[in-house]
Amino acid sequence: MPGHDHWEYSLNIPHDPRAVTISRRTLRLILTLHGLAHLTDLAELLATELITNAVRHTESPAALRVGWSAGVLRIGAWDADPRPLEPSPPPESATEPEDGRGLELIRACADLWGWQPLTRNGNRGKYVWCELTGAA
């Protein structure tokens, strides 16, 4: 049955704001081809926030990882900044109207999320991930 096996994709992305759109469109294609179109809108929102954070807050390439196992979709972003995630600034201290909203959206919309230090291709960094259950 489509969408119910185990798979994983990784997309290496350059430090470029256009990578966010490319990541989102790639994710949509992956989910559609695996019969998981019902997860696309929410998964795109979460992936957009993860990749946007990686591109905005680092000066190096990043990676998007998308995987499916046991009825759970995991979306993650690796970036080369090993520093722990900072709590969101209070709304009145944010420099941009959207500052700090990404992790709040992830907390509110994902079934589970987290982060961990991760070394990738010899570069220290972190991996921020979230999960969605695949129930329609």
pLDDT at 128: 94
- CATH number attached to the domain at 7-133: 3.30.565.10
Q: Quote the tokens at residue 22.
A: 């490319």
* Residue boundaries of the structural domains of the chain: 7-133
pLDDT at 1: 47
pLDDT at 85: 73
pLDDT at 122: 77
Q: Whole-prediction pTM value?
A: 0.83
Ranges of residues in the chain with a pLDDT under 50 are: 1, 3, 94, 97
Q: How far apart are CA 27 and CA 44, in angstroms?
A: 7
* Per-residue pLDDT tens digits for 112-135: 999 998 876 777 889 999 999 976
Q: Pairing relation of β-strands 112-120 and 72-79?
A: unpaired
Contact in structure between 128 and 115 (CB atoms under 8 Å): yes
| Residue appearing with tokens 């709590």 | 87
pLDDT at 64: 96
Where do the DSSP E strands lie in the chain? Answer: 7-13, 62-69, 72-79, 112-120, 123-133
pLDDT at 134: 79
Cα distances (angstroms) measured from residue 26 to each of 122, 125, 130 = 26, 23, 17
